[in-house]
Structure 1
Amino acid sequence: MGWKEAMTEVGALKGWEVKKVADGHQGELIKMIVQTVLLELKKKCMVITDNLVMMEDHLNEMTRLLNVGSNDTRIVGIHGMGGIGKTTIAKCTYNKLFQHFECCSFLADVREKVQQYNDLVGLQKQLLTDTLKCCSDITDINSGISAIKLRFQEKNALVVLDDVNEKSQFDWLVGNRDSFGPGSRIIVTTRNKDVLNTLEVDETYEPPLMNHEQSLQLLSIHAFQKKFPPIDYDSISKEIVLVSAVLPLALEVIGSFLWKKKEAIWTDTLKKLKNIPDDQVQKRLRISYDQLNHEQQQIFLDIACHFSGMDKTYAFYMWDDCGYYPEKEINAMCLMSLVKIINVNVLTMHDQLIDLGREIVRQEDFENPGMRSRLWDKEEALDVLEGEMLLGTEKKLVILDLSRSGITEKWKGWSQIKMANKLKVLDISWNHISKLPDEIWMLEILEVLRASSCNLKGNIPSCIERLSSLRKLNFGHNYIQSLPTSICKLSCLQTLDLGCGCNIQALPELPSSLEILHVTLYPKRNLHVKLANLVNLQDLRLSWCSMNLVEIPRYIEKRSKLQILEMENTNIRTLPKEIGALLSLLTILTIEECYKLTEIQGLGKLESLTHLTIRGCHKLKDVQGLENLKSLASLSITACKEIAEIDLLEPSAPLVSSLTILTIEECYKLTEIQGLGKLESLTHLTIRGCRKLKEVQGLGNLKSLASLSITACKEIAENLRHL
């Protein structure tokens, strides 16, 4: 189907007639069609629970206050006590309105990330990545805010800053309203209304408390999985609502705790709630905490103090060592609404529950932090370590995060760390440590050592072999010149990350246990690599390693367990026909800026491949076998300037039912995309900067399409103008 036929079909479906719409101007009609389709299909929603009560009222008020459509740049603040639903309201508002803006970003947990992790730069990068798909070369706060002001001046943006407690956080993240283009909207949530006053926001919204009926409905949804309680529980449910301060969080936690509980538990819970003053929310929440078993309580406190917003992997090291069953216990706490898991592996907890957990730990010893079971404040932890206040607690340390703490190799606390004979995870990233102190090599059961961006120089000593239990080692973004041959004795090592900045000339023989190897050299240089013995390798990423390669080497081809292969800026010239048979488990293949690559063969045999990215391969003219990739879900071909044609399928090709995301950008000689209309599962299609592409056939047949973007395609634009 050509463009004229496609536009005719769309026009017929919508019932628009050029004479009746846009004053008869065809060009204006086309713009209206495109804008309407994109508004309907664009998706970038925040994840929220289905169990919402009273949200329609909140959304109506926020929509009124934001007044989307006016050309002013408006700031609206949501304030109120913790647990009242500020973040949920902001998420729902964001989901409802984001499609009206050119770009959008939701920055969650600003207070926690700044105070606990000092990560303003990380938030700045997230803002730029969310909205503009780049974070430039941000190295500090000043360069970050400069980049934000420069890039957003002409952008119509929607930005949410969740849980702000200081004006400076707003200043460093968005600057001021003049940093954004006309029509932009900024939403700020905070517990402290004074913050909004200092920001001189345009409007404020304090969510009203739920009435009795709404509160009963929320409690019932979590306790009985329906809107109203059974008759036998109606009376006691109403009583619990009366003494629960009608806070959404408290009702959710209490209701989740009471789910499938006997009536005696309900009665006991009601008695406890009646003895708690109205203004003491934490005590209400503690009722659920007190019902946890010992293992669950310890995991709850660990998440509250250390792991909310973090990948659960590191925490599992500790919980496994303690003899807990983390999968089972976390699942139980999720059912009680005490913990949530997002993005598959990330643990999250509401800030009121975090406050509860940390208060419980403070009560262990108000005067001496060194006697508490957990230390989450970095300055407090450093004071304890430097002041020799641990009084034996160092022997209980399992995880120690000293990243971004400002320590050096001369730090006084190293003498304490060497006594931590149970330490399994040590993170000293983003500090100024030119040489790893000898005390580290005494941590014989250490399983994870993260020392990225530490300014490490010179050679890693041979005594690294003492870390016989080491599983993960990260030396990325340093200036290391060599690794010792003794590293091959680390028989448990599974991950070795040598990221950007390493000056390594050669890699010694590595342990056969290795499953993940990332090597990035900058500037680019030859690297001698010994990989023949890595029979367990599953993830291999080589960047800026010229390696004198002209074809896939045999030591890679023999990696039958390899699932991820990424090559960036190497001298590779060809992918052989045999690659499919040799790498049958490969799921992700990325080839970027391999300027000498001229041909890719054998792709059709990669039966497990789900993601294929080819970018910046300037001499590549053809990609053969795409149509036979029966598992491929995502295909991206970018900046391959010599590719003139992309053939996506043949009759009965398996790609028809698998591909969901297709991105083709800056392929300047591309004139034709064959088979596009047969991709019945395609949901996201992006075509950008393909100057010679005249038409995109088959768009009308893409029944699953949810996102469509065709930009900077000169020939297509010319054809549209002549419709």
Structure 2
Amino acid sequence: MILGGGNVSRGHLYVGRTFTRNRLGRKKLLIVFDDVSGYQQLEFLIGYFDYLNSRSRIIITSRDMQVLRNCSVEQIYQVNELFHDEALKLFSRYAFKQNHPPVEYMELSNKIVSHTGRVPLALTVLGSMLREREKPEWETVLSKITRIIDRQTYDVLKLSYDKLDDIERYMFLDIACFFVGEDKDLVETFMHATCIYAYGLHVLVDKSLLTVSKLKNKIEMHNLIRAMGREIVRTESVENPARRSRLWHHEDIYGVLKRNTGTDEVLGISLDMSKIRNIQLDPGAFSKMHNLRFLKFYNSANEMNSKVHLFQGTTLPSRELSYFYWHAYPLKSLPSDFNPRKLCALHLPYSNLEQLPNEHFFKLKYINLSHSKLTKIPDIPVAPSLESLILEGCNNLLEIPSSVGYLDKLVTLNLRDCKSLKSLPNYIHLKSLKILILSGCSNLSKFPEMLDNIKELYLGGTIIEELPSSIEYLSCLIILDLENCSRLTCLPNGICKLKCLEELNLTGCSQLGRLPDDLGSLKALKKLKV
């Protein structure tokens, strides 16, 4: 027994500074420190590692990545989820005392494994609970776990949440309720707009409460961790959803809106309209929700009509509103008193909106009005921070105001399938613009110059007859899409000077006589479609 068989209590952790040096320093050891929450714990137990035998090995498990960095570990191993077949096998051992479910329980077992997120603790708890139970009881449990996490799993997962500070908890609950699957940059923008600074995002990653996909930059969260966060919110007021800080379940939201019982405790609402019946809102439905920061009415079934209906003159929350999403917004305009100074994201796809208010949206970074009935948009200097403007499919849009050309921070401009659009402003100097999409603008005969930093340019389906010679100065261009430019007759030789060009699409360019002789000089070119 290395420590002489005695137990070392927390009150005597400093024993490591003297006692363990003599005993551990001479031995070849495998030491495992489980569930370490801070470097101080290791320091108290054994001090620094330099006196240990060079052949000794130390394994540290922790819920916090920063703890491992503080310990200067040589290698960090991220534990992955079980594969589905592994999870099913583990569940079956506890539910049936065999490696596979009986045929008659296979479908139910697969559903339960999927809902648990393949977490071993949840699999063993549920498997033990369902052993020798009849099918109706299984179905009851399955219906519950889609909404409410079991207590034992909840208590274990909540340990990481309890160690967060107030701001980190605030962020975690917002993400668990509203932002899983959303772009990380959008989430950070929302946090800044609500004065919750996004430095805490990396803390949540370090504590394995969420991840950020490297390829798509999307926020990801394990199903059970998300369920744990939502359970924390649910327990704020089990009987009265209107007293909870965040609402996401369609039945809860429908009841609050139908009965007009919203309160200033509600900070956010995310409603899937495909799951509810049509509802006509009272003009004062939002009048008591003074602190509403997040409002999202979406439709996972992509139905073209809003199931939430408004009377003209209904007041929308605006004082604290930072994120506003309404699929198929039903009115032709936003309320005259709608002036959300903190708004950072405005998404109204497939709306009946015909015009935007001339308000100053100083924090607005994202506008998505795709497939709306807009005929014009106001001068955009009212949104000087705008980074993304999406007007795809706005068939009634006749023109783009010249002020768009002065949006210094605009990164993405999407005008795909704006079929009534005949021209763009003559002067566009968008120094931050990286992506310009004009595909399907079937009446557009030319595109603007002065796009020095553009990386992706989509002109497919336009009626352009030639590209300007100045295209050779687009030194950052990676993608050039000219698909179905049926009137394009030639390509300028300058196109061969695009040293960063990786993709060139000339499919359907029926009038294009020949390709430039020096096309082979495009050393970065990976994909050529003709």
TM-score (norm 2): 0.63
Alignment of 1:75-114 (within 5 A): 78=88, 81=91
Q: Kindly indicate whether the alpha-carbon contact (under 8 Å) linking 1:296 and 1:333 is maintained by their aligned counterparts in 2.
A: yes
- Please state if 1:332 is matched with 2:207: no
**Cα distance between partner residues in 2 of 1:527 and 1:378:** 38
Q: What's the CA shift for 1:437?
A: 5.0
**Which of 603, 606, 613 does residue 471 from structure 2 map onto?**
603
C-alpha displacement of 1:619: 1.7
- Out of 212, 217, 221, the position equivalent to 1:345 is 217
Query: Paired residue for 2:420, among 520, 541, 546?
Result: 546
1:389-441 Cα shifts (integer Å, max 9, x gaps)? 55xxx3243332234164767324x5242222222332234423565653444
**1:311–1:648: structure 2 CA closer, same or farther, 3 Å change rule?**
farther
Q: What is the distance in 1 between the residues matched to 2:223 and 2:237?
A: 22
Q: Is the 8 A contact 2:486 2:508 kept in 1?
A: yes
Pick one of 354, 375, 394 that aligns with 1:505.
Answer: 375
* Cα distance in 1 for residues equivalent to 2:360 and 2:113: 61
Higher relative CO (Cα under 8 Å, sequence separation at least 6) belongs to 1
Q: Distance in 1 between matches of 2:89 and 2:314?
A: 48
Q: Deviations along 1:333-371, whole A, 9 cap, x unmatched? A: 322322111145322221222232233333334333333
Question: Which amino acid in the other structure matches residue 470 of structure 1?
Answer: L
Distance (Å, rounded) in 1 between the aligned partners of 2:203 and 2:188:
16
- 2:183 maps to amino acid: D
Q: Deviations over 1:438-461 (max 9, x none)?
A: 34445234233223323x354555
Q: Within 1, Cα distance between the matches of 2:225 and 2:434?
A: 39
For residue 377 of structure 1, report the CA deviation from its aligned partner: 1.2
Match of 2:391 in 1: 519
Q: Choose the corresponding residue for 1:307, options 179, 202, 209.
A: 179
Deviation at 1:318, TM superposition (A): 5.6
Which residue pairs with 2:254 in the alignment?
A: 382
Residue in 2 that maps onto 1:475: 348
Q: C-alpha displacement at 1:598, in angstroms? A: 3.9
Structure 2 equivalent of residue 613 of structure 1: 481
Contact 1:450 1:473 in 2 (8 A): yes
d(CA) in 2 for partners of 1:206, 1:428: 30
How many angstroms does 1:611 deviate by? 2.4
- Higher helix share goes to which structure? 1
Distance 1:434 1:349 in 2: 33
Contact 1:517 1:541 in 2 (8 A): yes
Measured in 2, the distance between the counterparts of 1:519 and 1:419 equals 33
SS of 1:500's equivalent? Answer: coil
Give 1:509's aligned amino acid. D
State the partner residue of 1:196. Answer: 106
Q: Distance in 2 between matches of 1:294 and 1:192?
A: 47
What is the CA RMSD across the aligned residues, in angstroms?
Answer: 4.4
2:512 alignment partner in structure 1: 643
Deviation at 1:246, TM superposition (A): 11
Q: Is the 8 A contact 2:295 2:325 kept in 1?
A: yes
CA 1:379/1:407 → structure 2, altered by over 3 Å: closer, same or farther?
A: same
Number of residues paired by the alignment?
406
C-alpha separation in 1, matches of 2:326 and 2:468: 37
Question: Please, which of 199, 220, 231 is the counterpart of residue 359 of structure 1?
Answer: 231
Indicate whether 1:583 and 2:444 are aligned. no
Mark the CA change 1:80 to 1:595 in structure 2 (over 3 Å): closer, same or farther.
farther
Structure 2 CA distance for aligned equivalents of residues 370 and 315 of structure 1: 25
State the AA in 1 paired with 2:165.
Answer: N
Q: What does residue 706 of structure 1 align with?
A: none
- SS of 1:589's equivalent in the other structure is strand
399, 404, 411: which is aligned to 2:268? 399
Query: Could you tell me how far 1:500 is from its partner in structure 2?
Result: 1.7
Which structure has more strand as a fraction of its residues? 1
What is the distance in 2 between the residues matched to 1:636 and 1:566?
A: 14
Q: Distance in 1 between matches of 2:161 and 2:464?
A: 60
Matched AA of 1:602: S
Contact 2:193–2:322 (Cα < 8 Å) also in 1: no
SS at match of 1:615: coil
User: How far apart in 1 are the matches of 2:393 and 2:81?
Assistant: 54
Task: Measure how far apart 1:605 and its partner are.
Answer: 0.7
| Counterpart contact for 1:607–1:630, Cα < 8 Å | yes
Q: Secondary structure at the match of 2:353?
A: strand
Counterpart among 150, 155, 158 of residue 283 in structure 1: 155
Quote the residue 2:284 is aligned against.
415
Where does structure 1 lack aligned partners over 5 or more consecutive residues? Answer: 1-48, 63-76, 85-189, 208-243, 250-277, 668-723
* CA distance, structure 2, for counterparts of residue 480 and residue 317 of structure 1: 25
Q: Secondary structure at the match of 2:208?
A: coil
Report the AA paired with residue 565 of structure 1: L
CA distance in 2: counterparts of 1:345 and 1:587, whole angstroms: 18
1:426 to 276, 295, 311: 295
Q: Is the 8 A contact 1:318 1:399 kept in 2?
A: no
What stretches of structure 2 of length at least 5 have no aligned partner? 1-75, 95-99, 115-119, 126-149, 300-305
CA separation of 1:462/1:525 partners in 2, compared to 1, >3 Å: closer, same or farther?
Answer: same
State yes or no: 1:294 paired with 2:169. Answer: no
Contact 1:418 1:443 (C-alpha < 8 Å) held by counterparts: no
Identify if the C-alpha distance between structure 1 residues 299 and 434 changes in structure 2 by more than 3 Å, giving closer, same or farther.
Answer: closer
Q: Is the 8 A contact 1:573 1:598 kept in 2?
A: no
Match of 1:622 in 2: 490
The amino acid of 2:407's aligned partner reads N
Deviation at 1:585, TM superposition (A): 1.8
What letter corresponds to residue 544 of structure 1 in structure 2? Answer: C
**Is the contact made by 1:626 and 1:649 (CA closer than 8 Å) also made in structure 2?**
no
Shift of 1:606: 0.4
**In structure 2, do the counterparts of structure 1 residues 518 and 54 end up closer, same or farther at CA, with 3 Å as the change threshold?**
closer
Amino acid at match of 1:505: T
1:496 aligns with 2:371: no
Structure 1 residue 632: Cα displacement: 2.7
Question: Contact between 1:535 and 1:561, CA under 8 Å: does it hold in 2?
Answer: no
Aligned-residue offset at 1:591: 0.5
CA distance in structure 2 between the aligned counterparts of 1:352 and 1:384, rounded to whole angstroms: 26
Q: 1:371 to 1:501 in 2, by over 3 A?
A: closer
Q: Distance in 2 between matches of 1:426 and 1:476?
A: 14
The answer to whether residue 444 in structure 2 is matched with residue 572 in structure 1 is yes
- Match of 1:544, SS state, is coil
